[in-house]
Amino acid sequence: MAAGGHVVWFKRDLRTRDHEPLQRALQSASHAGGKVLLLQVFEPGLLAHPTTSSRHVRFQWECGDDIQFTLKQESWGLTFHRVHAPVLDVLDHLRQTVGVAAIHSHEETGVLWTFDRDKKVAQWCHAHGVLWHEVSQAGVQRRRTSRAGWVEAWHVNMARPWANPDLESWRASEGREAEVVWPAAWTLQEAPSVAHGADLNGAGPFQPGGERSGHAYLKSFLKEGRIHTYQKHISKPEFSRKSCSRLSPYLAWGAMTIRQVYQALESTSQGRNHHAFGSRLRWHCHFIQKFESEHALEWRNVNRAYDALPVHRNPEWLARWKEGATGVPLVDACMRAVRETGYLNFRMRAMLVSFLTHHMNHAWQDGVEHLARCFLDFEPGIHYSQFQMQAGVTGINTVRIYNPVKQGQEQDPEGNFVRSWVPELESVPSEWIHAPWTAPPMEAAMGGWASEAYPDPMLDLTEAARAARERMWAFRKRPDVKAEGRRILARHVVPPRAQTKGRMREL
C-alpha cells in the first residue's frame, strides 16, 4: 500500500454523522497515527453536465459551510477542503505532495458521467497502489441481480446504529490533518458556476443546504406536527409545501441519511400518516436500486419495446412547456413554481411529465434534463425511474394520463396556487380558473376579468388525451412489450411472498 494520508472524498454525502467513510478514515488514522484529509471536489465536467444547475451547486456549497461549522464548533482539528478541478488531477496532486494511502467514500449511484469517472478513479488507485474503500449509502445494494431478500436487507440496514466518528479517540490520538497547498487556480471562495440553466432563478430563496437545516426540517415535520396533515395534503400543490416533509434535497445531497429519518420516524407515535411516510422512505431506496441495477435508464426506455413508440417533436411546444407558457393554468403554475423555488410535490411532477409525454407526445428524454435542473432534490435514481414510469414506457405500471383541468379542480379548488404563479389570471373567478377558455366571453367581459395576457391552450386537451390513450393502450398489448415487461419484473420487482399469494409487488 502507498504511504500517506486517508482521504475522505465527499460526494452526495455532505454530512458529519452516520458517515461510514468518515468514521473509518478517522479510526484508521487514530490507530496508526496517520493523517486525514476531508475533500470535496467540484469537477468541471460535472458542472458542465446538462442535469447540473446552480441551485444544486449552491446547496452543496451550503452543506460544505455547515460541515466547516461543525468541525470548528466541535474542535475536530480538521478542515473541509473544497477544490475546483478534475478529481484525477486532485488525486495526482495529493499523491505527489502529501501521499495517499487510502480513499474513503460512499458508492455513488449517479449519472453515466460519474460512473465513468469512478471507473477512472479505480484505475488510478490500482496503478498507484492506493486502497479505495467504498461503502454503500443506506439501503442501496450494489451488484444485485434480483430483488429476492431486498426488503429484509433494507430493514436490517435501517435498524443499524449510526456510523458516527469516534471523536474522543480521534482527538486523543496522534492522528493529524494532512497539510496541503492547493494550486491557486483550484481554490474557491464561493460556489462555482455551471454551464446550463441560466434561464432558471439562480438567486433563491431555496431551502438552505446543510445537515443542521435537514434535521430542523425533520424535527418540524415529526415533532412539531407537520406530519399530521401529510396524507390530506400530499397531492395538493400549495399545501404539500408545508405538510410534506421537504426532506428530499437533504436526502439527495446526503446532508442526512434515510436511516436517520427512518429511526426518527420509528421513535414517534405511529398512525396512517407515519405509515405512508415510512413507505416513501423505502421507495426512495427502491428507485435508486433500480437505477443502480440498470443505469441505461438514464437514456433509453427500460422496456426496449417502447423504442418503437411514435413520438412527435414540436420545438415550440417544448419551449412553452419549459417556460410555463402552455396556456393550461395548472401546468404553467407548476412549471413556474418549480423554476423559481426548486420544489414541486409528487402528483404535480407526475402531471408535468404526463402532459409532456402524453398530451404533447414528446419523448421523456426531451424534458428529463430540464426538470433535473429545476428540482433542488435532483436524485438520478429516482428521477429517471419516475420519469419513465410517468411516461408509461415501463410496460408494467398503470398508464396515468392526468387531466390538468380536473387535477386543478380537485387539488387547487379555489385556484390560489394557480393565481400565485400565473398573475395574468389573478382576477379570474375560481369557477373558471383552471379552464378560462371555456368561460362564455360575455361572462368574462361583464366580470371584467378577460385576460389578453394569458394564451389559450397550445393544444386541444380532450383530443390530445384521446390520442394518447389510444397510442399507449395499443402498445401495451404488443407481445414485445409484454416480453420485456416480464424481464423487468424479474429484475426490479420483489418476488411474491406467502402473504401476497403470488402477486408481484413493486414495493
Using CB under 6 A, list all residues that contact ligand FAD.
Answer: 244-248, 251-252, 280-281, 283-284, 287, 345-346, 349-350, 353, 375, 377-379, 382-383, 386-387, 390
Among candidates 136, 130, 43, 126, which has minimal Cα distance to 86? 43
Residue that has been written with the C-alpha cell 480513499 in this structure? 103
Burial (0-12, 13-18, 19+ Cβ within 10 Å), 438: exposed
Smallest gap from residue 347 Cβ to ligand FAD (A):
8
- For the bound state, the minimum distance from the C-beta of residue 226 to ligand FAD, rounded and expressed in Å, comes to 9
Beta carbon nearer to ligand FAD, 23 or 245: 245
Nearer to ligand FAD by C-beta: 178 or 356? 356
Q: Counting Cβ atoms within 10 Å, is residue 476 exposed (0-12), middle (13-18) or buried (19+)?
A: middle
Nearer to ligand FAD, 26 or 285 (CB): 285
Q: Is the peptide bond before 86 cis (omega within 30 degrees of 0)?
A: no
CA torsion angle 278 279 285 288 (round to 10):
-140
- CB burial class (10 A; 0-12, 13-18, 19+) of residue 208? buried
Q: Of 76 and 217, which CB lies nearer to ligand FAD in the complex structure?
A: 217
Q: Which residues contact 27 (CB under 8 A, 6 or more apart)?
A: 165, 166, 169
Q: Provide the minimum distance between the beta carbon of 252 and ligand FAD in the complex, in angstroms, as a whole number.
A: 5
Which residue, 251 or 309, is less far from ligand FAD as judged by CB?
A: 251
CA gap 105, 142 in Å, rounded? 14
DSSP 229: G
Enter the C-alpha cell of residue 18: 452516520
CA 277 and chain centroid, separation: 17
Q: How far is the CB of 6 from ligand FAD (least distance, A)?
A: 30
State in angstroms the smallest separation of the CB of 280 from ligand FAD: 4
Torsion of CA 186, 189, 190, 193, to 10 degrees: -40
Toward ligand FAD, which CB reaches closer, 140 or 247?
247
Cβ-based nearer residue to ligand FAD, 30 or 386: 386
Nearer to ligand FAD, 40 or 257 (CB): 257
Q: What is the C-alpha to C-alpha distance for residues 2 and 88, in angstroms, rounded to an integer?
A: 17
Q: Measure the CA dihedral 214/217/218/224, to 10°.
A: 160
Provide the residue type at 54 as one letter.
Answer: S
Q: How far is the CB of 125 from ligand FAD (least distance, A)?
A: 30
Q: Which amino acid is at 307?
A: D
Q: Minimal distance in Å, beta carbon 190 to ligand FAD? A: 25
Pairing of strands 176-177, 35-42: parallel
Report the residue number, 252 or 302, with the smaller CB distance to ligand FAD: 252
Q: Give the DSSP letter string of 481-503.
A: HHHHHHHHHHHHSBPP-GGGTT-
Alpha-carbon gap, residue 358 to 335, rounded angstroms = 17
* Minimum distance, C-beta of residue 247 to ligand FAD, in the bound complex (Å): 4
95 vs 280, which CB is nearer to ligand FAD? Answer: 280
Task: Give the alpha-carbon dihedral of 323, 326, 328, 331, to 10 degrees.
Answer: -30
Q: Which is nearer to ligand FAD, 51 or 105 (CB)?
A: 51
How far apart, in whole angstroms, are the C-alpha atoms of residue 216 and residue 223?
10
Q: Toward ligand FAD, which CB reaches closer, 158 or 350?
A: 350
- The minimum distance between CB 373 and ligand FAD, in angstroms, equals 11
CA-CA distance, 328 to 321, in Å (whole number)? 10
Distance, CA of 184 to chain centre? 33
- CB 103 to ligand FAD: min, Å: 27
Q: In degrees rounded to 5, what are phi and psi of residue 63?
A: -65, -40
At 133 the three-state DSSP class reads strand
CB of 282 to ligand FAD, least distance (A): 9
